[in-house]
Amino acid sequence: MKKPIVSRDLLKLQFLSDPQISPDGKQVVYAKTHIDESHRAYKTDLYLAQVDAKQSERLVVGAGNPVWSPDGRKLVFVSDRSGSRQLWLLNDGFGEAEKLTCMRWGVSNPQWSPDGKRILFISAVGKEDTPELLRKELGKDEREQLKQEQLDQAYVVDTLRYKMNGLGLLPKRTGQIFVLDLASKEVKQLTSGEYTLNAPNWSPCGEYIAFVSNRQEDPELHPNFSDLYVIPSAGGEMVKLTASNGSTSSPIWSLDGQQLVYLWHDRQYGGATLPKFYRISAQGGDPVCLNTEMELSIGVSANGDSRYGNGSMKPVWATNGYIYFAAADTGYANLYRIPAEGGTIEQVSQLQGAIYSFSFDNQGKRAALALTDSLNPGDLYVFDLVSKENVRLTEVNTDLLSNLALSTPEGFNCPSFDGTNIQGWIMKPVNFEPDKKYATILEIHGGPHTMFGDSFFFEMQLLCSLGYVVVFTNPRGSHGYGQKFVDGCRGDYGGGDYQDLMAAMDYVIANVPYIDEKRLGVTGGSYGGFMTNWIVGQTDRFQAAVTQRSISNWTSFTGASDIGSYFTEDEHKANAWDNPDAMVKFSPLTYAKNVVTPLLILHGEEDIRCPIEQAEQLYVFLKRMGKTTQMVRFPVSNHELSRSGRPLLRIARLDAMTGWFEQYIPRA
C-alpha cells in the first residue's frame, strides 16, 4: 500500500534542469540536484544521457551550466570547485576537466564561438578593477578578508537599484562580456560601463556578438526598457539596432548572419505586456513584426515548488526557416513555431505537463526537454520534431514517488462575476471516500503574472496527504489566457481577481458534494500572500488562512522592496507620491480591522522582494486589535524559501502551515 507524503519526503526529491542536447542529437548533458546528507545544502552534478540507449551516467560532480562545443566533442561548464565559479573544459573523450578561467568575481553564461576556438562569458567588473586584477581568482583567505572588510565599511547608496533578493546589497560591479581564446588563453573584455546586459549571442560567422542592454540616459527610471546591440567579437564599437522605446529580449541570429529575431514589447500593459517576435537587419533599419496577433505567453512555464537550477527557454532559429519557442497556454507549456519571414503560429508539441527548459540539435530534428507534470517534479525527454514522439530518458524520482500516494488534479471551468471564464483544478485527499465531507484549502499563486497548471507542487500533495481538498485557479492577471486576461488585474488588485477566486470557490462548493464549506482555508505566497491578506479583510467565509512572503502595505513596499520603485506603479497605474490614496485603497492593512479569520504569517528574514516589514506591520495591527494571529520568521531565508530555501527551513515552513490548518480546520 502506498504511503501518504510527509513533509520530510521533500528532502528525498531530486531536481533535473538545463538539458543540453549535443549537436548531433545523440547525447544530452543535464544537471541534477539533490539535498546533501546534512539536509542543509543542495548539490548539483552533471549527467550524460545516451538518447538511443536511454541510459545516463554521472559526468561531473559539483557543476552546472553545461554547453557543448559546435563539433560535439568538448563540453564547457561552470563549477566552484576552486572556490569561485569558473569555466572548466572537458576535452575529446572527456576525462579530467581543465580549468579555463581565473576571473576575480567568477563567470557565468558561457557560449562557444561557431568555430569552437573561443568562448564568451559574462563576468563582473568594478570601477577599481584593473585587467590584471580581474584575471586573478580570489583565494579563500582573500575572500574571507574582503568579507571582513565589508563589515567595517559603510555602504553608500546613490542609485535606485542597490539591492536584490537573494543577493542583499549589490556589489559596486557590473557584468561585462568577455571572450576567451582557447589557443592563447587570452581573455578580452568587450563591453564596459555601468549598464546591465544579458543574452549575448554569437553571429554564425563568429565576427559579432549580439546582446541586450539598458543604456538609456536614465536607466534607473526605466529599468525594464532595453535595446538590441551588436559588437565585434574582436573588440570595437558597439552598434545599437533598436529604438529605446520598449523591452527587448532573447536575440537570435539567422543562419546566414544577416538578420536577427528578438522578442520585444512596448510595455503598453506594463509588466503584463506579452512580447512579440520581431526581425531586423544586422545592419539596423526598421524591425518587422512576425505576428501581430500574439496571445501566447512566450518563455513562460507553469509554477512549481519542486525545481532547482536554471535552464534555457531561449527561442531557436532552425534550419527549416522556423523560429521555435516554448510558451504557456491554459495550464500547459509546449513548443510552438513561427516562420522567420512571419506568418501563422503553429503548436508543435501536444504534451501533457509543462516544459521548463529545452535545447535543439543542429539539424532541428530533436529537442531535449525538461518536462514536469502534476505527478512528477521533472524528467528529461527527447522530442522528435518530425514524428512528434516524446521519449522519456530519466526517472529521477520514480523510486520515491512510486511508493507515495499522490493526488491527480481534476480540471474545471467556471464563469466569474462578469462572465469571464476561469480555469481551475481540484485535488482530492488521498484515501478519498466519496460520502465524506472534507476541509478544503484554496491555493493562490504569486506573480501575479504567472500560471498554475499541470506542474508538480509538493505543498499541494502534502495537504492532500493530510486529508484536505485543494483548489487552485488562474484568476485574471495570470499568464496563459491572452493579453486582455493577463492585464486584467492591473489597476484593480483585489477587484476582479478577488471576485474570480470567490467565483471559483462558489462553483466548487455548489458542484462538488464532498467539500465542507464550513471548513475552508486559504493560502498563497507573494502576490498570493497579498491576496490572502486581502481576502481575510473582505470576507469571513474562510476559517483559517496562511499568508506567505506577502504584501500588506503598498506605500512601504514601494520604498523597501528591491522592485518596489517601479513594480507598484506598474501594477496599480499609480504611485505613492502622486496618489497616496490609491496605495491605501489597495493595501490589505487598510482592512485589517475587518479580519476575523485566524491568520498565520510566514516570512523570510532576508526577503528583499517582499520585505519582512510587510509581515511585521500586518502582525502588529492584528495583534494590537486582538485578532487571532501568529508570525513565524525564517532566518537566512529570502523570497525563494518555498522553492530553494535551506531544506530544513522548507520543512519548518510546511509544518507551520499544515499545523495551523489542522488547528483551525481539522481534516476530520
User: Residue 10 in 3-state DSSP?
Assistant: helix
582 phi and psi, to 5 degrees?
Answer: -65, -40
Q: Of 93, 124, 28, whose CA–CA distance to 392 is shortest? A: 28
Q: What H or E segment, with its residue span, contains residue 141? A: helix 140-151
Q: Report how far residue 564's alpha carbon sits from residue 559's, in angstroms, rounded to the nearest whole number.
A: 6
Give the C-alpha distances (Å, rounded to integers) separating 632 from 174, 591, 660: 36, 22, 11
526 is catalytic: yes
Sequence-ordered list of residues with C-beta below 8 angstroms from that of 623, at least 6 positions apart, any chain: 629
CA 234 to chain centre: 34
Catalytic residue among 79, 416, 639, 642: 639
Give 276's DSSP letter.
E
Q: What angle do CA 365, 371, 373 make, to 5 degrees?
A: 140
Residues in the chain: 668
**All 3 cell numbers of residue 557?**
513596499
Q: Report how far residue 227's alpha carbon sits from residue 235's, in angstroms, rounded to the nearest whole number.
A: 19
Is the previous residue joined to 448 through a cis bond, with omega within 30 degrees of 0? yes
β-pair partners for 232: 208
Q: Write out the DSSP string of 373-412.
A: ETTEEEEEEEEETTT--EEE---TTHHHHTTEE----EEE
Look at the block and give the residue holding cell 543535464.
30
**All 3 cell numbers of residue 84?**
569561485
Q: What H or E segment, with its residue span, contains residue 324? A: strand 322-329
Q: Of 528, 478, 563, whose CA–CA distance to 297 is shortest? A: 478
Residue 57 CB neighbours (<10 A): 8
Q: Report how far residue 586's alpha carbon sits from residue 494's, in angstroms, rounded to the nearest whole number.
A: 7
Give 493's DSSP letter.
T
Catalytic residue among 526, 552, 556, 637: 526
Sequence-ordered list of residues with C-beta below 8 angstroms from that of 328, at least 6 positions apart, any chain: 296, 297, 300, 301, 302, 354, 451, 453, 479, 480
Q: What H or E segment, with its residue span, contains residue 554? A: helix 554-560
18 in Cβ contact with 63 (< 8 Å): no
631: amino acid identity, one letter: M
Q: Report how far residue 252's alpha carbon sits from residue 260's, in angstroms, rounded to the nearest whole number.
A: 6
Q: Report how far residue 62's alpha carbon sits from residue 66's, in angstroms, rounded to the nearest whole number.
A: 12
78 in Cβ contact with 65 (< 8 Å): yes
No. of helices (H) and no. of strands (E), the chain? 13, 41
Residues belonging to the active site: 526, 639
